[in-house]
Amino acid sequence: MSVKIEKDDQPRTISRREFLSGAGIVAASAIGISSTSKLTKGVVQQEWPWSYEKLDVEQVRKLGHLGYYEGACSYGAFHAIVSALGEKVGDPYANFPTLMMKYGEGGVVGWGSLCGGLNGACAAIGLIAGEDYKPLVNELIAWYSATPLPTAISNDLAVNHEFLVSEYKSDQALEQSVSESSLCHVSVTNWCKASGFASGSAERSERCGRLTGDVAAYAVELLNANADGAFEAVLPLSEDTQACRTCHSKGKEFDLGQWTRGKEECSACHEPHD
């Protein structure tokens, strides 16, 4: 006995032993769910992506800043976008358990890994953009890595007391820095060194709140452009990274240097070599 499962129109077979063990049933569900071209025909009818209506970029910037003070960076960016859609579209956004994204705080519970603002905004794109997620997420990380943050817009909002949090930790324009990395550790370090503020300071926290709003806002710019069919990738990898990747990238030639993968700014951690 075998069970045929279709994925991308290629029939697949689960063995009788797997099926009888019960594992096959779960596997069938799993494949049904993940068969993106046939989502509504899967064993479990999982809706994805969810419908999108273009959002107000500046409203989301304020909501991201607010969300940072409610549940930190990762939740803040994700909740800004999803709650704005909850207001505009209603369900299923309105009932999404956005608090699940709190784990991303400080590069995942303080480890300094992937910036939580990025993680939350990328997760929102992953929920909303369907199979278009890849170029949008790629562009968001490239933008994050190359842009002086917090943006002048966020600094102006703070100076003019136009954020939604009534008492935030600094109402001054804060120093801008370029992370050259997707990592919380690098991003925070660069900003602290540029500004002279410590990582546990109120100003660093406020900086990350503004950045959370900025990242959520830029994700919405990308989602809006995509909804209009007008998205274009404009930010290439740096010339240095492109040069490194001629050897050191994902590929099949170990001896050439293809024993790694990644798109980060190599010089953030590595010395160049001849």
- Segment 66-105, which members bind its own copies (CB under 8 A)? 66-67, 70-71, 75, 79-80, 83-84, 86-87, 94-104
The answer to whether 26 contacts its own copies (rule: CB under 8 A) is: yes
Q: Supply the minimum distance, in Å, between the C-beta of residue 223 and its own copies.
A: 13
DSSP letter (8 states) at residue 149: B
CB 127 within 8 A of CB 78: no
Q: Using omega within 30 degrees of 0 as the cis cutoff, is the peptide bond preceding 135 cis?
A: no
Q: Using omega within 30 degrees of 0 as the cis cutoff, is the peptide bond preceding 148 cis?
A: no
CB 5 within 8 A of CB 31: yes
The answer to whether 62 contacts its own copies (rule: CB under 8 A) is: yes
Q: Supply the minimum distance, in Å, between the C-beta of residue 157 and its own copies.
A: 11
Nearer to its own copies, 42 or 150 (CB): 42
CB 107 within 8 A of CB 27: no
Residues between 132 and 161 with contacts to its own copies, criterion CB under 8 A: 133-134, 137-138, 141
Mark residues 165-204: x for contact with its own copies by CB under 8 A, - for none: -x---------------xxxx--xx--xx--xxxxxx---
Nearer to its own copies, 214 or 265 (CB): 265
Beta bridge partners of 25: none
The answer to whether 11 contacts its own copies (rule: CB under 8 A) is: no
Binding residue for its own copies (CB under 8 A) from 114, 174, 215, 216? 114
Phi then psi for residue 10, to 5 deg, are: -100, 115
- Cβ neighbours, 10 Å, residue 246: 9
